[in-house]
Amino acid sequence: MKRLILLIALSIAASIALAGGNPATYNTKTGRLDIPAVIVDGGPINYSVAFEKADAPATSVHINAFRLLPESVALAEDPSAPEWLFVHTAATAELVSDTTLVVPFEQDVFAFTDRPYRQHTYLNATQFVSLWADAGSDSFQADPPNAVLTWADSGVVKEAEVELLDAKLVGDGKSIQYTTTWLTSRYDIPDATIVQSVSLFIDDATQAPYKIGDTGPSGGKVFYISHDGRKGIEAAPVDAGRVPWGCDGVYVQWTAPNIGAGQSNTENIIDKCGESTAAYLASEYTWPNGQKGGSLPSKHELNELYRHKDVVGGFANDYYWSSSENGSDGAWVQFFDGGYQGSSYKYGTFLVRAVRAF
């Protein structure tokens, strides 16, 4: 996690000169300090600072209580990549030969990541075999994965390490045929036989299993993928309702516009103003796969949602709330018949579409 320590002694009405000659400006009405191009871990990141004391007098003061709100894409800050692991299970499988394994597709493949990400999702058969179709340098096609194959034989669970050179749908899409190389096993390789209680534990795919328009982990439609292709945001297939934004006359402060801020914005709005908010309505949404919980999209997330509205579907030609406020009386909205973004009074009644980051 990035940490910054700023010791700021400022004249409220003045600009602050930062490294590189970029000024930081303080808004006395909103209590926000905009800091462009702060160098963090070798790269420039734009920040805004909302001070704990937003009504500071217009005199020289020492400010020592504030929060940093990153304006850059939060979903892609971490340069490290999660490794996806996949589990394909079936009651039986056919070992056609020592190079061909056919496994029925009885349920979606479970995928999960290593710590500290601890993400998970489910892939249908088409999504799963597409991992071998990508010709990228880090794809299964270019660098086939290893897998541990386990099966039951007369009450003994046996295992073998195999390399999965290819995977394709066979039998009208009801099974996956793997092209294999057997690497090592303490047991003899079964040949031309049916094996029982089969599991394949497939290692290490750093490519994202999603693209825009796919069904996401919670059953929504994916409308945003981070620049490295490893994280994203899905949208609910239907609106959650039409309500006021809430918090009328209350300045929540911690409601950044950037992509990735929707969840924290939502939590901050609920903490400040409770259940009578558009954010709370989004947080109570129940997704198609049964999960409960979502967020009100930030200003920039809402714009991405508008850009891909035809992919997600179900939108009205009307205004939708974002979770990014514009002072104590207003919040950002977007018109989904033209794309206009503007600020509206919080007491206005507009539509809510829940989203969820993964």
pLDDT score recorded for residue 205: 57
322 CB neighbour count, 10 Å cutoff: 29
Instruction: Output the pLDDT for position 133.
Output: 79
| Buried-exposed string 49-81: b where 16+ CB fall within 10 A, e elsewhere | bbbeeeeeeeeeeebeebebbbbbbbbbbbeeb
Q: What is the DSSP letter of 82?
A: P
Instruction: Give the contacts of 42 (CB within 8 A, at least 6 positions apart).
Output: none
Total residue count of the chain as it appears in this document: 358
Q: Can you give the pLDDT at residue 52?
A: 41
pLDDT > 70: what percent of the chain? 73
pLDDT of residue 33: 56
Residue 160: pLDDT over 90: yes
Residues 334 and 306: beta-carbon distance below 8 Å: yes
Q: Which two tokens stand for residue 107?
A: 């349920």
- 240 pLDDT more than 50: yes
Distant-in-sequence, close-in-space partners of 334: CB < 8 Å, separation ≥ 6: 302, 303, 306, 319, 320, 322, 340, 341
What's residue 343's pLDDT?
96
Residue 259 CB-half CA count within 13 A: 20
More reliable by pLDDT, 273 or 17: 273
Predicted confidence band of residue 11 (pLDDT cuts 50, 70, 90): very low
pLDDT at 39 > cutoff 60: no
Please give the average per-residue pLDDT across 87-93, as a whole number.
96
Do 120 and 110 contact (CB within 8 A), yes or no?
yes
Per-residue pLDDT, averaged over 259-276, amounts to 95
Cα dihedral: 212, 218, 219, 224 (round 10): -20
Would you call 159 exposed, middle or buried from its count of C-beta atoms within 10 A (0-12, 13-18, 19+)?
A: middle
Is 96 in contact with 176 (CB distance < 8 Å)? no
Within 10 angstroms of residue 319's Cβ, the number of other Cβ atoms is 19
Most distant pair of Cα atoms in the chain: their distance: 85
In 3D, which of 271, 278, 311 has the Cα closest to residue 297?
278
Q: Which position has the higher pLDDT, 129 or 207?
A: 129
pLDDT by residue (tens digit) across 311-350?
Answer: 999 999 999 999 999 999 999 999 999 999 999 999 999 9
Q: How far apart are CA 8 and CA 101, in angstroms?
A: 65
What's the CA gap between 270 and 268, in Å, rounded?
A: 5
Residues 322 and 340 sit within 8 Å (Cβ to Cβ): no
Give SS3 for 183: strand
CA 79-81-86 angle, 5° bins? 170
Question: What amino acid is encoded at 215 in this protein?
Answer: T
CA–CA dist 240, 352 (Å, integer): 5
**For residue 322, what pLDDT is reported?**
98
216 band by pLDDT with thresholds 50, 70 and 90 = confident
What is the mean predicted confidence (pLDDT) over 95-121? 88
Q: What is residue 227's predicted lDDT score, i.e. its pLDDT? A: 59
